[in-house]
Chain A
Amino acid sequence: MKIGVVTFPGSLDDRDAVRAVGAVGAEAVPLWHGDADLRAVDAVVLPGGFSYGDYLRCGAIARFSPVMEALVPAARGGLPVLGICNGFQVLCESHLLPGALIRNDHRKFSCLDQRLVVENAATAWTSQFEQGQEITIVLKNGEGGFVADDRTLDELEGEGRVVFRYAGDNPNGSYRAIAGITNERGNVVGLMPHPEHCVEPGYGPSLDGLPFFTSVLQAMAQA
């Protein structure tokens, strides 16, 4: 099983994502932003960071990178893709997922051990969770406020495409406390929290990141 991890200039959590992939026994394949080549991987992680510095809208430049030219059609064709934080922003900018991420309502970067509720345990990246399960995942960003128009929000809710919701206080003003969503097919998942920081005992607040990666292994095995 090969899982690609994309490195954009300014990607920060790419090495962490590689480690997380390794933690579940899969092979991590580095993918370079400048190459329109997915190197025959079975799934892709778009990691966190500040791609190209994010001086424009977050993810707005990464969207136009050569690797995304290859990734967008593959994702539309069913390739499992997980966008974490900046990766989620890239997925929204690429229109693989609806909505957008804006500056946190308190206007600060914040790094928290965040409780989440798993709302959809049927996607390629969440099948190893139980629906309604509460998990703790690191949340760290400056622009994590999920926004979309009411129709889109209703659609996401109605189709069960809200995958994670913040538990407790809404940490950033996300509409309907949405922390992560999926596309119609359930193969593309984007979320602001960082599962790759929750995969090793002794590092990070929990091991709740592991099921993301065991889920996709199972999805790939069934594919």
Chain B
Amino acid sequence: MDEVTRSAAHVDTVSRAAQSPDVEQPWLELGLKSDEYERIREILGRRPTSAELAMYSVMWSEHCSYKSSKVHFSLWGENTTDEMRERLLVGIGENAGVVDIGDGWAVTFKAESHNHPSYVEPYQGAATGVGGIVRDIMSMGARPLAVMDPLRFGNLNHPDTLRVLPGVVAGVGGYGNCLGLPNIGGEVVFDDCYQGNPLVNALCVGAMRVEDIHLAKASGVGNKVVLFGAKTGGDGIGGVSVLASETFDEGGPTKRPAVQVGDPFAEKVLIECCLDLYAAHVVDGIQDLGGAGLSCATSELASNGDGGMRVELDRVPLRDASLRPEEILMSESQERMMAVVEPSRLGQFLEITDRWDVEATVLGEVTDGDHLVITWHGEVIVDVPPRSVAHEGPTYHRPLERPAYLDVLHDSTPDSLPRPADAEGLKADLLSLLASPNLCDKSWVTDQYDRYVQGNTALAMPDDAGVVRVDEQTGRGVAISTDCNGRFAKLDPYAGAQLALAEAYRNVATAGAVPLAVTDCLNFGSPEDPGVMWQFREAVRGIAEGCRHLGIPVTGGNVSFYNQTGDTAIHPTPVVGVLGVMDDVARRTPSGWKAPGQVIYLLGRTRDELGGGEWAHALHGHLGGRPPRVDLDAERLLADILVNASRDGLVDAAHDLSDGGLAIALAEATLRYGVGARIWLDAVCERDRIDLFTALFSESAARAVVAVPRSEEVRFTDMCTARGQVHARIGVVDDETDGLDLQGQLTVTLAELRDAHTGTLPAVFGR
């Protein structure tokens, strides 16, 4: 398109819209419903211009507006006590929540989904998922410290998994590695329910001094609105609306153009540039450009501020000169930020962006009044109340209904599954489970991520939690874990969400950190299905009430709906991330033992709980019964014991019991450093009135194994006894034992464990 056809004469201006009320508009194609379109006309008192329509369509999308979920968010507030707010510096609603970790340090963390783009275009979808969450963290004023990626794929042996997984992993690695952020954990889960809807969630954590927290708001009449970073292109148009907020249908149009394309080098430079800008105190307000691009950044900044904003859209630097104004407003081109800068500091701002060769353009300024006005070559093409775009979108009270399938599932208990009758059978099940897709060694994936860059990583996968240092002088730092068993949530979304919370909480504590705050990434099917909405409500209630019980607040999160193909939704998958703090992360506890002679204790009580567990799933393809019982008091006590034991040097290794139960925890703790152990479980079986099979494979919650130096054994057991922590001495670390020796029952050599554990992913994906 040449300059003439792009000129104002050919664009849809506000005055033209006022004069031509009956022009047909493509609201349906843009993902709006007819009543939503009517409401826009009502707000404006006329039809929207095509630019305004573009803005409303992306900002009122499910992804941006939370229109189906937000009526349930009152549960967060209702369940957050004043005590829980004490350490909360910034709560839900900002780009990311911020918590006070002591010594003047603030930590911000958040998870986000990039599910739909990653299915359509695995590499770029996953890469830009990392990029987006990192910019959210940057826009709080923080230096990003680390990332984690909870990933879920379809069947390991399905041909499409061979397309999706390597692309997603290469994308996560390609972007994060080049950005210089260590990837310190996450999950890799396989289940048929994710075949057409893989889940690619990304979490980032960052830190700053408390006084350096920045917020996304435009205030101060006359302050300049500056767009900086990459040029705007035609990628990712409608990413949040037509891609992320709709169900995939067979034979539908390809949605690849709606996926953004990432440039991690540009983002790395942008990070350093932003940190220099913050250090120079030249930024008044800041917002990243992610989903919904400029539409989101301009309307949110203006809506959060106390004035209006005027923007000259034709000043936006373009990669593609033929882009129309509405495309520029909708583009989700990556590696862009928008800042509000006082005029007197603009010179210094531009000097810093120049030093980093980052392009910066003054687009407009903060104005009096309460309108967001956008012009194109002098003509007004947008004139809207910004709150109506950013914060007053539609709200739906979707119908909820407990799905009928639940009764059928609950009746189909795992009790009828054939349990191994002898030691040989137990050993075979242990090795099969250890080799199963969800429990096998994930280093084919995690070795593609740089876990060491920045030199602050104290723990990373395969340990229970990722741990990074924040303060170089004192060693103060944070531990993070993300967890979710979607099968538990399918059987009972309330309990499943609490079990996800409990596991992440426990994992942080096994590392030795005090759990402090929660983020979540709620992945569900279509909200238009009452059964899915019921699952959603139950999961939110589960997390919110669980957090209240544990005394740690939810600081932010993300909702991803429409993870379904046709009528088939994924398992409800409320991924929960818990962040904990440690005084000195060099004292963290790894999840494997290495010192011979140390005594192994099992903490917590074991019940016959196999419903939704890995044994039933991986070995019998069974899903039914009830998930393990939730006992948050027991979780709280266990976490206290683990943290205190770690702090006082009473434990040298700690590993949580979750997927696959005690059998897998013992195998993993042995494999971690290749040091064996002798184990006896008779006393535990007798105490808990269970058989050896149940002791090994049940997934009862609130349990962990620890290795205690002999010199500390009395102190450790005294502490457990005094606090009422159920504990049992079940073994000893022994480097002369080759692998695991379950005394009098069975032995599994290290080589057998290793072969089973490490072969699975390379057999599918190659070396």
Q: Which residues of A contact B (CB under 8 A)?
A: 9-10, 12-13, 15-16, 19, 48-50, 52-55, 106, 108-112, 138, 140, 142, 194, 196-197, 200-204
20 A-B residue pairs with CB within 8 Å: A9-B268, A12-B179, A12-B180, A12-B453, A16-B454, A16-B455, A50-B178, A54-B265, A108-B170, A109-B174, A109-B448, A109-B450, A111-B450, A140-B452, A140-B453, A196-B455, A203-B586, A204-B452, A204-B455, A204-B457
Number of chain B residues whose Cβ lies closer than 8 Å to a Cβ of chain A: 37
Chain A neighbourhood of B588, CB < 8 A? 202
Chain B neighbourhood of A12, CB < 8 A? 178-180, 268, 453-454
CA distance A108 to B177 in the complex (A): 12
Taking CB atoms and an 8 Å cut-off, the chain B residues in 445-466 that contact chain A are 446-458
Q: Does B392 sit at the interface, judged by CB under 8 A?
A: no
The answer on a CB contact under 8 Å between A201 and B265 is no
CA distance A186 to B269 in the complex (A): 34
The answer on a CB contact under 8 Å between B265 and A110 is no
Chain B neighbourhood of A52, CB < 8 A? 265
A111 is contacted by which of B170, B447, B475 (Cβ under 8 Å)? B447
If A13-B453, A15-B454, A202-B586 touch, whether A106 touches B767 (CB-CB below 8 Å) is yes
A19 is contacted by which of B269, B357, B455 (Cβ under 8 Å)? B455
Q: Does B263 sit at the interface, judged by CB under 8 A?
A: yes
CB distance from B353 to the nearest CB of A (A): 13
Total cross-chain contacts (CB, 8 A): 90
Of B266, B268, B469, the most chain A CB neighbours within 10 A belong to B268
* Leading 8 A-B pairs by shortest Cβ distance: A53-B265, A202-B586, A12-B180, A16-B455, A197-B452, A50-B178, A140-B450, A110-B447
Interface of A is mostly: mixed
CB distance from B652 to the nearest CB of A (A): 14
The answer on a CB contact under 8 Å between A197 and B766 is no
The answer on a CB contact under 8 Å between B452 and A53 is no
Sample of 7 more A-B contacts, CB < 8 Å, known A53-B266, A109-B170: A13-B453, A15-B454, A16-B455, A53-B264, A109-B450, A142-B177, A201-B586
CB distance from A140 to the nearest CB of B (A): 5
The answer on a CB contact under 8 Å between A53 and B263 is yes
CA distance A198 to B178 in the complex (A): 20
Interface string of B356-390 (1 = CB under 8 A from A): 11000000000000000000000000000000000
The answer on a CB contact under 8 Å between A9 and B456 is no
Name the residue on B nearest A113 (C-beta): B452
Q: Does B739 sit at the interface, judged by CB under 8 A?
A: no
Chain B neighbourhood of A197, CB < 8 A? 452, 455
CA distance A142 to B457 in the complex (A): 20
Name the residue on A nearest B169 (C-beta): A108
The answer on a CB contact under 8 Å between B452 and A111 is yes
CB distance from B730 to the nearest CB of A (A): 29
Interface string of B655-699 (1 = CB under 8 A from A): 000000000000000000000000000000000000000000000
Q: Does B585 sit at the interface, judged by CB under 8 A?
A: yes
If A108-B170, A201-B586 touch, whether A55 touches B452 (CB-CB below 8 Å) is no
CB distance from B669 to the nearest CB of A (A): 18
Chain A neighbourhood of B458, CB < 8 A? 202-203
CA distance A102 to B472 in the complex (A): 35
Of B170, B451, B455, the most chain A CB neighbours within 10 A belong to B455
Chain B neighbourhood of A16, CB < 8 A? 453-455
Chain B neighbourhood of A108, CB < 8 A? 170, 448
Chain A neighbourhood of B356, CB < 8 A? 9
CA distance A54 to B588 in the complex (A): 36
CA distance A111 to B448 in the complex (A): 6
Chain B neighbourhood of A196, CB < 8 A? 455
Chain A neighbourhood of B454, CB < 8 A? 12, 15-16
Q: Does B129 sit at the interface, judged by CB under 8 A?
A: no
Chain A neighbourhood of B269, CB < 8 A? 9-10
The answer on a CB contact under 8 Å between A10 and B268 is yes
Q: Does B527 sit at the interface, judged by CB under 8 A?
A: no
The answer on a CB contact under 8 Å between A50 and B585 is no
CA distance A140 to B181 in the complex (A): 13
Q: Does B173 sit at the interface, judged by CB under 8 A?
A: yes
CA distance A9 to B178 in the complex (A): 11
Chain A neighbourhood of B180, CB < 8 A? 12-13, 49
Taking CB atoms and an 8 Å cut-off, the chain B residues in 175-230 that contact chain A are 177-180
